[in-house]
Amino acid sequence: MARVGIFGAGWVGLVTGACFAELGHEVVVRDVLPAKIESLRRGEVPFFEDDVPELLVRNRDRLSFTLDPADVADCEFLFVCVDTPPTASGDADLSRVWTVIDELPAVTGNPIVVMKSTVPVGTGEKVRAGLDERGLAHVGYVSNPEFLAEGKAVGDFMKPDRIVIGSSVRADAARVASLYASIDAPIVQCDVNSAEMIKLAANAFLMTRISFINEIANVCEATGADVVMVAEGVGLDRRLGPHFLRAGIGYGGSCFPKDSLALKQLASNSGYHFQLLSAVIEVNELQKRRVIGKLKRHLGPLRGKTVALLGLAFKAGTDDMREAPSIVLASRLLAEGADVRAWDPVASGGSLPRGVEIVDSVLDAVRGADAAVIVTEWPELKELARDEVRLSMANPLIVDGRNLLDPEATRRAGFAYEGIGRPTSPSDVLPQTPEPARSEA
Ligand SMILES: NC(=O)c1ccc[n+]([C@@H]2O[C@H](COP(=O)([O-])OP(=O)(O)OC[C@H]3O[C@@H](n4cnc5c(N)ncnc54)[C@H](O)[C@@H]3O)[C@@H](O)[C@H]2O)c1
């Protein structure tokens, strides 16, 4: 079993640390935030992610947390899991990566720096040169990008589709592969540049599928087709598969938006205009705003109207609000003069613009509201179309940004219903009565 040092106690670093400890390795996790380290030492996880708390408890003897980089000096592997947010130009900000390299302690033996942070192609070569310049030629370098998805991060780490290991030194790649020996997954062993590109390309492809199905949804709306049926029919084609074909209000989160920008910038810095990716990004931005048009179609001008935003996290299963569509929606609604109430079961809503009222329950959010918008596909919202919700709303309109509800059942329950890419019945617009009307369909 190996001794593993991890820089960064965020989603990737903490999940990596907890999972390696579960696999039997000795793990030291280092972060720069004292409050985070203190809460981890108390056994508290600083964000919402299933299974991580249990792993921390079960493996507490093999896991320690520190602020001091010197505590990883005797580790055989030094995983870099720090954040790489976008700069103003859209390039990835690698300053935290370089801080880690600058702060590497006087390491003993021949450890390997393992890059798990998502970085532009070419970063590994620069870090390798940086290590050499700092007199650390004996320290290895391997790219090992992470593909976990928040909300099911532990499952993704323990049962990955593949493990990508990029290195120019075969022995270093083999050492990193040995850390994962008890995980049953194909290993893609390649050069560092290709490993870096695999991560960026995989994310870009997933985003392309999302923007593609969202555009199909918009055409469905214009032509009377139902994107849910279309996606099912398309996804059953084995050449295409069903994943990431769910139409909605666009992707968000800490990875897709920044990684798409970083890849677009990387291409353009290299003299190539990545047209398809530019379109994917633009479609996504427009998609987040389409809800406003749907609300106006039902309510007219939104000034003075109360809109309940249900779900704030960028997706269900996490409290992460980075680049969440809820932020754009809330800002647009406030700009239109609407009163905005917001609810989420776990996200705090701290990154919403000032002026949004954050409430503790779905019922508090919809009370007296002119519309309820499903922003995050939380399972509890599947029960939204019920009497107590309808009766407490000023106007029983549901805009379902995630196609979570059954349109017919929702209409039968007395709501006007708008999904994404689903036919709207004319009587849905500006309904006069909350009474169920079977003839609507
Ligand atoms: N979140 C995801 O779903 C996900 C999935 C795959 C890959 N990634 C990539 O992994 C990287 C990390 O993402 P994340 O979501 O875990 O980020 P995060 O923001 O949740 O966590 C990063 C952590 O690094 C810490 N940190 C910053 N500088 C440090 C330093 N010098 N030493 C030690 N710690 C330091 C921060 O305090 C923070 O706790 C990013 O490049 C991201 O693109 C993220």
**Which ligand 1 atom sits closest to the C-alpha of 116?**
10
- Whether residue 190 lies in the annotated active site: no
What's the pLDDT at 439?
41
**Which ligand 1 atom sits closest to the C-alpha of 15?**
16
Q: DSSP secondary structure string, 287-343?
A: HHHHHHHHHHHHHSS-TT-EEEEE--SSSTT----TT-HHHHHHHHHHHTT-EEEEE
Q: For ligand 1, say whether the CB of 9 is within 6 Å of any of its atoms.
A: yes
Q: Whose CA is nearest to atom 36 of ligand 1?
A: 8
pLDDT of 366-383, one tens digit each? 999 999 999 999 999 999
For residue 209, which amino acid is it?
A: R
What's the pLDDT at 108?
82
- Are the C-beta atoms of 3 and 75 separated by less than 8 Å? yes
Closest CA to 14 of 114, 77, 75, 81: 81
Q: Whose CA is nearest to atom 10 of ligand 1?
A: 117
What's the pLDDT at 426?
64
Q: Which residues of 24-40 are buried (b: 16+ CB within 10 A; e: fewer)?
A: ebbbbbbbbeeebbeeb
Sorted by sequence, the CB contacts under 8 Å of residue 136 that are 6+ apart come out as 104, 107
Q: Separation of 8 CA from ligand 1 center, angstroms?
A: 6
**pLDDT (tens digit, 0 to 9) for every residue of the chain, 441 residues total?**
999 999 999 999 999 999 999 999 999 999 999 999 999 999 999 999 999 999 999 999 999 999 999 999 999 999 999 999 999 998 999 999 999 999 998 988 999 999 999 999 999 999 999 999 999 999 999 999 999 999 999 999 999 999 999 999 999 999 999 999 999 999 999 999 999 999 999 999 999 999 999 999 999 999 999 999 999 999 999 999 999 999 999 999 999 999 999 999 999 999 999 999 999 999 999 999 999 999 999 999 999 999 999 999 999 999 999 999 999 999 999 999 999 999 999 999 889 999 999 999 999 999 999 999 999 999 999 999 999 999 999 999 999 999 999 999 999 999 999 999 998 866 665 544 444 444 433
Q: For ligand 1, say whether the CB of 33 is within 6 Å of any of its atoms.
A: yes
C-alpha 16/C-alpha 277 separation (Å) is 30
Q: Where are the alpha helices (DSSP H) in 2-51?
A: 11-22, 34-41
Is residue 277 left, alpha or beta, with left meaning phi > 0 and alpha meaning psi from -120 to 50?
alpha
What's the pLDDT at 429?
59
What's the pLDDT at 107?
87
Q: Whose CA is nearest to atom 19 of ligand 1?
A: 83
Q: Separation of 210 CA from ligand 1 center, angstroms?
A: 24
Angle at 135 between CA 133 and CA 141, to 5 degrees: 80
Q: Report helix, strand or coil for 83.
A: coil
Is residue 241 left, alpha or beta, with left meaning phi > 0 and alpha meaning psi from -120 to 50?
left
Q: For ligand 1, say whether the CB of 118 is within 6 Å of any of its atoms.
A: yes
What's the pLDDT at 145?
98
**Which ligand 1 atom sits closest to the C-alpha of 9?**
39
Q: Separation of 275 CA from ligand 1 center, angstroms?
A: 29
Q: Tokens 């990029």 label which residue?
A: 166
Q: For ligand 1, say whether the CB of 12 is within 6 Å of any of its atoms.
A: yes
What's the pLDDT at 438?
41
Q: Separation of 145 CA from ligand 1 center, angstroms?
A: 12
Half-sphere exposure of 369 (CA within 13 A, CB side): 29
40, 143, 144, 255: which to mutate for ligand 1, most atoms within 8 A of CB?
255
**Which ligand 1 atom sits closest to the C-alpha of 255?**
43
List the structure tokens of 100: 């880690």
What's the pLDDT at 432?
42
Cα 53 to Cα 39, 56, 122, 386, distances in angstroms: 12, 5, 36, 34
Q: For ligand 1, say whether the CB of 196 is within 6 Å of any of its atoms.
A: no
For residue 197, which amino acid is it?
A: M
Q: For ligand 1, say whether the CB of 144 is within 6 Å of any of its atoms.
A: no
pLDDT of 246-270, one tens digit each? 999 999 999 999 999 999 999 999 9
Torsion of CA 262, 244, 349, 302, to 10 degrees: 100
Q: Tokens 């000096």 label which residue?
A: 73
What's the pLDDT at 427?
61
